[in-house]
Structure formats: structure tokens, C-alpha cells
Amino acid sequence: MNSKSTGAWVATYGMLIGLAFIFSYVEAIIPIPIPIPGVKLGLANLVTIVGLYTVGVKGTIAVSLVRIVLVGFTFGNASSMIYSLAGGCLSLVLMILARKLNWFSQIGVSIIGGMGHNIGQLSVAALVVQTAGVFYYLPFLMVAGVAAGAVVGLLGGLVTERIRGFIKKCK
């Protein structure tokens, strides 16, 4: 790898991490008027879905993990970081599999990620409180995951196409 490609790599991943961090911050300061605990828009997932379609799996994993840890240290605590890691990791694994199978559009992959994130977090919650009762929220969180995943996937598709168009112009 030459220094020019290394610089481009560092800039690209730095930009993706920064965007995901900013989206997480925006989500942390703007409350959602929904009476269901744990429902979020998943704005940082926009970077994840775009990353899967532009920089690939390894880069997206790195960006996601760095973002979760940075956000956990900045806006949360060890507990929130564990929940985020569980949701983020399951979400990412499911999105990677869905992307590789090529059965779903970018919107479908994002919806799977949104639902996976909720399942991952509820699974950790069930372990922490030692009851499966937390899965009572699952149907509500699945609806929220589908809705947020669809919006994020739609936006991610638009952003991905813009990035691909920009790359073609630069060549």
C-alpha cells in the first residue's frame, strides 16, 4: 500500500466514524416522543449500511466497533456500551449475511439490521435481569426496527448511489 492510498483509507474511515459519531450524538440529544422504552431512529446505522455497500465488510466492522466504543465512553457508561455492542454486533452479522445472500435490497438489509439490533439488546437485557419478560417489548421493537430500518435503508441507498456516482466522476 502506498502513502497516497493509505491517506485515502485513513480519510475515508475517519469520515465514516465521524459521521456515525455525530449521528449518535444527534440521536442522544433529540428525544423521540414514542412511549416505548429503547426505541431509537438508528441514525448511525446509516453509516453502517452505506459502509457495507461502499467500503466493504472489514471496514464497516471496524467503523461500527470504533463508533460504539467512542459513543459509549462519551455519552454512556459500561452498561450502555454492552447493550450497544450486543445490538450492533448481531445487527452487523445479520446485515453482512443478508448482503452476501443478495436476496434483499439495501432497504431489506437495513430492516434486518434494525430488527437484529433490537433482538441483541433485548437478549442482553434478559440476561442482566434474569427474566425473559423483557421480550414482551419485542413486537413493539420489531415494528420500530422495521420502520426505522426502512427509512435508514432508503436514505442509505440514495447516499450509496451518490457516492458511486462521485467515484465514477473521479476516475
pLDDT of residue 3: 53
Kindly report the number of other CB atoms within 10 A of residue 24's CB atom.
25
Kindly report the number of other CB atoms within 10 A of residue 114's CB atom.
30
* Low-confidence residues in the chain, pLDDT < 50: none
Which class is 10-170 in CATH?
Answer: mainly alpha
CB 144 within 8 A of CB 138: no
How high is the mean pLDDT of the chain? Answer: 88
Rg of the chain on CA atoms, in Å: 16
The whole model's pTM is what?
A: 0.89
pLDDT of residue 76: 82
pLDDT of residue 5: 66
Residue 148: in which H helix or E strand, if any? Answer: helix 138-170
pLDDT of residue 92: 96
For residue 95, give every residue at least 6 positions away whose Cβ sits within 8 Å of its Cβ, in sequence order, or none.
Answer: 48, 49, 52, 109, 110, 112, 113, 116
Q: How far apart are CA 117 and CA 112, in angstroms?
A: 9
